[in-house]
């Protein structure tokens, strides 16, 4: 008892001088002299009420973040902040008085900082108030039938990151046509993060200088017989730090519709600090779903929140047509295989007009072997995944063209029944997947997950098939028959994909 009392009183007396220095008005509010672009801190407010210290840090990404676990250690205030990202473990941040200033050191996510702040006047602090906006009450948004089969097209992110511009998008549209990929089904040309500029005085979001005229670009893409997509976030900032739709949801939906946009990828990004419950995340997607519907334009709605809160169970209810099931893909076998083999969305969530989205393709970007890219393509097709090219379609090797335009494999992906295939056999070295097709046949994927060749042999009956009067190899495009048994040799990380009748 006594010990505990002593401990508390020591902490309390240590706390007083710090709180006196940092918390008493007008010293309670501090304005940062500068901040890194992420997390773009603007001010700190520390308050002491009845001997209890509380504090809030404001960030242009995350709004007001309460100081958690706030305590005094000697002459330093120590606390944590939580940006709502479940992958980030908050670490200690320290604030110390330094003459007339305070100094804050620490780290948030990947960003370390060492910043000074000066005493803020009332006016200065008020100007940094971060606005909050009400969310709509729970409703179901009628889903438009815009994606009867998984959407196919191209997206700028995997290859170009934010280094994307009007000229490149036009050239990509041209290349989709001239390479035959458009005829193979890839029709959406989607601009990901990095197109945004600032809002004008009426709040209308403008593209940045790399996109001089979005409407003209949309017209151009449409003139090539293609459709155009764009990207935004319900947060104040997109993942790349560009302007999000926070506080401008309806206005942005109207802007996109006015430009002639056909597809919106809506990415939670900095919104994860504001919206970190299933209800609030739902409400933000509902809000954009309703805003898109109100424009009257047909716009495919792609939900990107990394598979949180069982999104597949409610993605359709916000008018969504596809929803990411994981964090980002990378152009390497380990990450692709983890997403494709080990982190699938629930099969009962996928089907016509609403698809589990294991992220975009990396085929052609150079980080995997040809066999690994065939595995990637085969797996995505068996899963009925959206097929969004992530490479530079202006310059492709013949192998890349052959993989991406393999119509036998694309037909498995686009099968109108919209069934997500499943593994029927899984062990350390291999997996066998099947997918029921609308014509009564079955697509089969034999996958080698090991880094040396293996032979897979067995009887069709062991993988749930009665027999095989006709077996088409979808990568060699040859037909065989084999009544009872199969045997295939697979290269390292390779695949044999079949359509079996
Ligand atoms: C997130 C998404 C990616 C991409 C980037 C853009 O990481 O998951 O697909 O859109 O943002 O910044």
Assign 27 a pLDDT band (cuts: 50, 70, 90): low
* Paired strand residues for 324: 357
- Mean pLDDT for 255-284 is 98
57: closest CA among 72, 79, 85? 79
CA dihedral 407→231→419→475, nearest 10 degrees, is: 20
Give residue 9's Cα distance to chain centre.
Answer: 48
Closest CA to 286 of 263, 316, 243, 326: 316
pLDDT at 19: 56
Distance 460 CA to ligand 1 centre (A): 41
List Cβ neighbours of 205 (8 Å cut-off, separation of 6 or more). 196, 197, 198, 199, 243, 245, 248, 251, 252, 255
Distance of alpha carbon 267 from alpha carbon 359, whole angstroms: 12
| Residues 257 and 300: beta-carbon distance below 8 Å | no
Instruction: Show which residues are catalytic.
Output: 267, 328
Q: How far apart are CA 38 and CA 239, in angstroms?
A: 10
Task: Calculate how far, in angstroms, residue 104's C-alpha sits from the geometric centre of ligand 1.
Answer: 30
Please name which of 493, 495, 496, 489 lies closest in space to residue 450, comparing C-alpha atoms. Answer: 493
- Give the residue whose CA is nearest to atom 1 of ligand 1: 239
pLDDT value, residue 20: 58
- Sheet (strand 76-80) strand order: 63-66, 52-59, 41-49, 29-32, 111-119, 101-108, 93-98, 76-80, 68-73
Strands 111-119 and 29-32: antiparallel
The whole-number average pLDDT for the span 470-488 is 93
Ligand 1 contact via 328 beta carbon (within 6 Å): yes
pLDDT in tens, 369-383: 999 999 999 999 999
Establish whether residue 42 lines the binding site of ligand 1, counting it when its CB lies within 6 angstroms of any ligand atom: no
Residue nearest to atom 8 of ligand 1 (CA): 328
Q: Tell me the average pLDDT across 409-414.
A: 98
With a 6 A CB cut-off, is 40 part of the ligand 1 pocket?
Answer: no
In tens, the pLDDT along 210-249 reads: 999 999 999 999 999 999 999 999 999 999 999 999 999 9
pLDDT at 8: 28
| The pLDDT of residue 159 | 98
- Judge contact between 54 and 47, C-beta under 8 A: yes
Atom of ligand 1 nearest to the CA of 240: 12
What distance in angstroms lies between residue 390's CA and the mean position of ligand 1's atoms?
12
Sequence-distant (6+) residues with CB within 8 A of 102 are 22, 30, 44, 95, 96, 116, 117
Q: Is the pLDDT of residue 6 over 50?
A: no
Provide the whole-model pTM: 0.94
As a whole number, mean pLDDT of residues 405-424 equals 98
Distance, in Å, from the CA atom of 290 to the CA atom of 159, rounded to the nearest integer, reads 32
Say if ligand 1 is within 6 A of residue 267 CB.
yes
pLDDT value at residue 2? 32
- Give the helix/strand (H/E) hosting 343: none
| Mean pLDDT across 275-285 | 97
pLDDT above 70: percentage of residues in the chain: 95
Cα 28 to Cα 102: distance, rounded to the nearest angstrom: 11
pLDDT reading at 1 higher than 60: no
- The torsion region of residue 280 among left (phi > 0), alpha (psi -120 to 50) and beta comes to alpha
**Per-residue pLDDT, 23:** 64
Q: Is 92 within 8 Å of 106 (Cβ atoms)?
A: yes
Residue 24 pLDDT exceeds 80: no
From 87, 193, 229, give the residue whose CB has the most ligand 1 atoms within 8 Å, as the site to mutate.
193
The tokens describing 472, both together, are 């088409």
Nearest atom (ligand 1) to Cα of 231: 10
- Check residue 28 and give its pLDDT: 80
Res 384 pLDDT > 80? yes
pLDDT for residue 13 is more than 80: no
Distance between start and end Cα atoms, the chain:
77
Ligand 1 atom nearest to CA at 359: 9
Contact 85 CB / ligand 1 (< 6 Å): no
Task: Say yes or no: CB of residue 241 within 6 Å of ligand 1.
Answer: no
157 pocket-lining for ligand 1 (C-beta < 6 Å): yes
Task: Write down the pLDDT at residue 25.
Answer: 54
Please tell me the residue having the least CA distance from ligand 1 atom 4.
Answer: 157
Pairing type for strands 205-207 and 196-199 reads antiparallel
Per-residue pLDDT, averaged over 393-407, amounts to: 98
Q: Is the CB of 239 under 6 A from ligand 1?
A: yes
pLDDT tens digits for 45-83? Answer: 998 888 888 999 999 999 999 999 999 899 999 999 999
Is 37's pLDDT higher than 80?
A: yes
Residues with Cβ within 8 Å of residue 188, at least 6 apart in sequence? 151, 152, 153, 154, 155, 226, 227, 228, 229, 262, 263, 300, 388
3-class secondary structure per residue, 190-253:
ECCCCCEEEECCCCCEEECCCCCCHHHHHHHHHHCCCEEEEEECCCCECCCCCECCCCCHHHHH
Q: What is the mean pLDDT of residues 105-128?
A: 96
Segment 411-435 mean pLDDT: 97
Given CA atoms 311, 207, 64, 130 in this order, what sign does their dihedral have?
Answer: negative
pLDDT of residue 10: 30
Which residue among 161, 328, 330, 331 has the greatest number of ligand 1 atoms within 8 angstroms of its CB, and so is best to mutate?
328
Ligand 1 pocket member 272 (CB < 6 A) = no
Give me 373's structure tokens.
């890219």
272 backbone dihedrals φ, ψ, rounded to 5°: -65, -20
- Angle between the 214-223 and 249-259 helix axes, to the nearest 10 degrees? 50
Each residue of 133-176: pLDDT tens digit?
999 999 999 999 999 999 999 999 999 999 999 999 999 999 99
Q: Mind listing the pLDDT tens digit for each residue in 126-143?
A: 999 999 999 999 999 999
391 pLDDT tier (thresholds 50, 70, 90): very high
Q: What is the DSSP letter of 465?
A: -
């Amino acid at each position: 008892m006594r010990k505990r009392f002593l401990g508390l009183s020591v902490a309390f007396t240590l706390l007083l001088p710090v709180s006196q220095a940092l918390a008493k008005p007008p010293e309670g509010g501090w304005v940062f002299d500068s901040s890194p672009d992420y997390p773009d801190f603007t001010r700190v407010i520390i308050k002491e009420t009845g001997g209890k210290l509380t504090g809030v840090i404001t960030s242009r990404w995350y709004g007001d973040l309460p100081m958690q676990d706030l305590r005094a250690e000697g002459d330093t205030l120590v606390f944590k902040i939580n940006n709502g990202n479940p992958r980030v473990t908050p670490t200690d941040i320290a604030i110390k008085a330094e003459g007339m200033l305070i100094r804050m050191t620490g780290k948030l996510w990947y960003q370390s900082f060492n910043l000074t702040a000066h005493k803020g006047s009332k006016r200065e602090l008020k100007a940094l108030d971060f606005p909050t906006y009400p969310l709509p009450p729970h409703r179901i948004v009628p889903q438009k039938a815009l994606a009867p089969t998984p959407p196919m097209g191209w997206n700028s992110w995997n290859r170009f990151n934010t280094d994307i511009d009007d000229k490149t998008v036009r050239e990509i549209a041209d290349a989709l046509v001239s390479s035959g990929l458009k005829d193979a089904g890839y029709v959406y040309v989607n601009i990901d993060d990095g197109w945004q500029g600032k809002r004008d005085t009426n709040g209308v979001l403008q593209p940045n200088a790399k996109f001089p005229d979005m409407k003209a670009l949309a017209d151009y893409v449409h003139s090539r017989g293609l459709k155009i997509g764009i990207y935004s976030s319900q947060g104040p900032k997109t993942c790349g730090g560009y302007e999000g739709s926070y506080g401008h949801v309806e206005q942005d939906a109207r802007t996109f519709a006015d430009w002639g946009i056909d597809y919106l990828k809506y990415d939670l990004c900095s919104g994860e600090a504001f919206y970190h419950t299933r209800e609030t995340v739902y409400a933000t997607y509902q809000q954009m779903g309703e805003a898109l519907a109100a424009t009257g334009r047909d716009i495919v709605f792609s939900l990107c929140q990394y598979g949180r809160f069982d999104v597949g169970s409610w993605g359709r209810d916000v008018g969504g047509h596809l929803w990411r099931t994981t964090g980002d893909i990378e152009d390497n076998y380990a990450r692709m295989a983890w997403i494709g083999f080990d982190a699938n969305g629930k099969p009962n969530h996928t089907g016509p007009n609403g698809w589990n989205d294991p992220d975009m393709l990396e085929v052609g970007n150079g980080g995997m072997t040809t066999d690994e890219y065939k595995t990637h393509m085969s797996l995505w097709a068996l899963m009925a995944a959206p097929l969004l090219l992530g490479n530079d379609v202006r310059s492709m090797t013949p192998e890349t063209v052959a993989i991406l335009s393999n119509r036998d494999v694309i037909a498995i992906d686009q099968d109108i029944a919209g069934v997500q295939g499943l593994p029927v056999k899984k062990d350390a070295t291999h997996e066998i997947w099947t997918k029921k097709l609308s014509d009564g046949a079955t697509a089969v994927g034999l996958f080698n997950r090991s880094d040396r060749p293996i032979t897979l042999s067995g009887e069709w009956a062991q993988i749930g098939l009665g027999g095989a009067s006709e077996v088409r190899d979808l990568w060699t495009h040859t037909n065989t028959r084999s009544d009872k048994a199969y045997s295939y040799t697979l290269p390292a990380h390779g695949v044999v994909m079949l359509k079996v009748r």
